[in-house]
Amino acid sequence: MFRQNLSSTLLQNVVDELSSLPGVGKKSALRFALYLLKQPRENVERFGNAVVKMRNEIHYCKICNMVSDSDLCTVCSSGLRDHSLVCVVESVRDVLSIENTGQYNGVYHVLGGIISPMDGVGPGDLSIEHLISRVSQGEVKEIFMALSTTMEGETTAFFLYKKLSPFKVNISTIARGVGFGDDLEYTDEVTLGRSIKNRQPFVPLNT
Amino acid sequence: MFRQNLSSTLLQNVVDELSSLPGVGKKSALRFALYLLKQPRENVERFGNAVVKMRNEIHYCKICNMVSDSDLCTVCSSGLRDHSLVCVVESVRDVLSIENTGQYNGVYHVLGGIISPMDGVGPGDLSIEHLISRVSQGEVKEIFMALSTTMEGETTAFFLYKKLSPFKVNISTIARGVGFGDDLEYTDEVTLGRSIKNRQPFVPLNT
């Protein structure tokens, strides 16, 4: 138990707020708060204001639900991207991860979660209808599902597959296989089994 | 390298601010920022405002330099504490650690750092003169040094010992039991509590 008199309610409030962040306990929160106390006032004001401003002024892209500074995100408004290829992901973070690879030139659709009956998340809680209506407009040629390889991810992928099959659209999924740098010995049997079945032509890395 | 286009400058600013916290990298900062985005507006406003309010309105106790909501901290203004016994610590966090043990009934003096030539921190950067003037008023009977058992802590203790020796004041130090090289902050409560009870006359390392 780490509940103590912090000698200042101002400090106590900040510790309480900071320890609400995911993975941050009271000790780390206290460390952050004392760090902030030592910073110049204008820095701390910039810190606090940036957080509030972000929450109040952020937009979500009308097309793909990605966080954005305006009604259209940079990807959806770009003429250089392939708008007929839509990558379906669970969250904003996945978009950032994929963008970070520099390997993808299509656009996105952020579901805003994943089907998880255990957590009470059903299809109606996700932006699936929105995706269907995007596809029904006829310009999307391929739906590329980049969902986690968990039970929930597979369930969501299957649900989307069923919903999208009436439309003339190719449905692909992110390649399953042994991760780069992974030891074969420690790869689980399902992954290894699938990687053997779905073996691919060898392409050297540098070409 | 984890520097990427976050698709929103509002989000980017918050990630930059959060990653300035000690031990928080860009990935954790992004996780915190996306978490905050999902919270109700009023919660995020309370979060941001608490931080700014703390920085702008916090007081430091005029007697001991502890963080406080007013000019006198709760310890220094308490009639139940022994004001003739002064515990000298490096930082606010150490006061909180010691208070947490419930073993100490005296008052404090926060140095605001520790003598560390490597980091460019000399005696002039700490509130040592303030401590001397407290002692020179004649009401302090014992100075109890609870400094980390590091090289810097020992150096600071020795410096204080020299400075305080002209005064009629007992100088004690936290009992060994705290392992040499251990940081006070990470010491468990039992060890720390015992070390306070069994405080010993200060004997400089070199004599």
User: CB distance A50–B14 less than 8 Å?
Assistant: yes
| Segment B97-130, tens digit of pLDDT | 898 888 899 999 999 999 998 889 998 899 999 9
Domains, chain A, with CATH or none:
9-57 (1.10.8.420), 77-175 (3.40.1360.10)
CB contacts of A16 in chain B (<8 Å) are 50
Report chain A's mean pLDDT, rounded to a whole number: 88
Return residues 108-167 of B near A (CB < 8 Å).
none
| Segment B19-29, tens digit of pLDDT | 999 999 999 99
The number of beta carbons lying within 10 Å of the beta carbon of residue A76 is 17
Q: Contact at 8 Å (CB) between B156 and B115? A: yes
Residue B206: predicted pLDDT: 65
Task: Label residue A205 by pLDDT band (50, 70, 90).
Answer: low
Beta bridge partners of residue A127, listed in sequence order: none
Mean pLDDT of A57-64: 93
Q: Identify the residue with better confidence: B1 or B60.
A: B60
- Residue A184, pLDDT > 90, answer no
Task: Identify from A1, A7, A28, A32 which residue to disrupt to test chain B contact, counting B C-beta atoms within 10 A and taking the largest count.
Answer: A7
Q: Identify the residue with better confidence: B40 or B4.
A: B40
Q: Across the interface, which of A32, A73, A75 has its CB nearest the CB of B21?
A: A32
Phi and psi, residue A89, nearest 5°? -130, 165
Residue A4: predicted pLDDT: 56
Q: Which tokens hold the place of B60?
A: 């430091």
Task: Label residue B192 by pLDDT band (50, 70, 90).
Answer: confident
Residue A176: predicted pLDDT: 78
CA atoms within 13 A on the CB side of A197: 8
Task: Label residue A206 by pLDDT band (50, 70, 90).
Answer: low
- Residue B5, pLDDT > 90, answer no
| Segment B124-151, tens digit of pLDDT | 899 999 999 999 998 999 999 999 878 8
- Residue B194, pLDDT > 90, answer no
Query: Rounded distance, CA A177 to CA A197, Å?
Result: 10
- Residue B2, pLDDT > 50, answer no
Start-to-end C-alpha separation, chain B? 51
Q: Across the interface, which of B5, B23, B41 has its CB nearest the CB of A56?
A: B41
Query: Rounded distance, CA A110 to CA A89, Å?
Result: 5
| Segment A160-169, tens digit of pLDDT | 999 999 999 9
Query: Rounded distance, CA A10 to CA A23, Å?
Result: 22
| Segment A110-156, tens digit of pLDDT | 999 999 989 899 999 999 999 999 999 989 999 999 988 888 888 99
